């Protein structure tokens, strides 16, 4: 018999602590196929999300998923993050918070499902900047 994870309770506790003390709670997330976030903001397979009450709508810190709606570039997006993919929760102002081990949890979840842990998606290549207007340079 395995014990239930303490991670959802710790995430909720640190979120509440941040909000009670006027700090901004940030969530560091490892992105994989089960994570629903704006892919254009993912860097090196990770994304950092502001989960303060001012930045989110319908925030739900559940035992399996963190779900909310947030604006990215002025567009409202639905976000869904599996708790197993949460790498850390911390206060933006002072960095106080807690980090979590992702690899062990992802392997344990995959073992329960009878599969292998999913690989994070390859980052999209940086778009090339638009060509600049040609200019004449005088060389003597």
Taking the complete model, does pTM exceed 0.75, yes or no? Answer: no
Query: Edge to edge, what strands does the sheet with 56-61 contain?
Result: 56-61, 65-72, 75-82
Measured over all CA atoms, what is the biggest interatomic distance in the chain, rounded to whole angstroms? 82
Sequence ranges of the domains in the chain: 7-113
The CATH class of 7-113 is: mainly beta
Q: pLDDT per position in the chain (140 positions), as tens?
A: 678 889 999 999 999 999 999 999 999 999 999 999 999 999 999 999 999 999 999 999 999 999 999 999 889 999 999 999 999 999 999 999 999 988 655 555 544 544 444 555 555 566 666 666 666 667 77
Which tokens in the block code for residue 45? Answer: 């397979």
């Amino acid at each position: 018999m395995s014990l239930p994870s303490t991670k959802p309770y710790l995430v909720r506790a640190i979120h509440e602590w941040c909000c009670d003390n006027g700090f901004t709670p940030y969530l560091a997330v490892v992105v994989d196929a089960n994570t629903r976030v704006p892919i254009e903001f993912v860097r090196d397979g990770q994304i950092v999300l502001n989960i303060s009450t001012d930045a989110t709508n319908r925030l739900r810190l559940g035992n399996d998923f963190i779900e909310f709606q947030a604006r990215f570039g002025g567009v409202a997006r639905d976000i869904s993050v599996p708790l197993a993919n949460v790498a850390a929760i911390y206060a933006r102002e002072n960095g106080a918070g807690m980090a979590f081990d992702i690899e062990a949890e992802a392997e344990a979840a995959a073992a329960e499902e009878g599969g292998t842990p999913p690989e994070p998606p390859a980052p999209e290549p940086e778009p090339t900047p638009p060509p600049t207007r040609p200019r004449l340079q005088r060389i003597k």
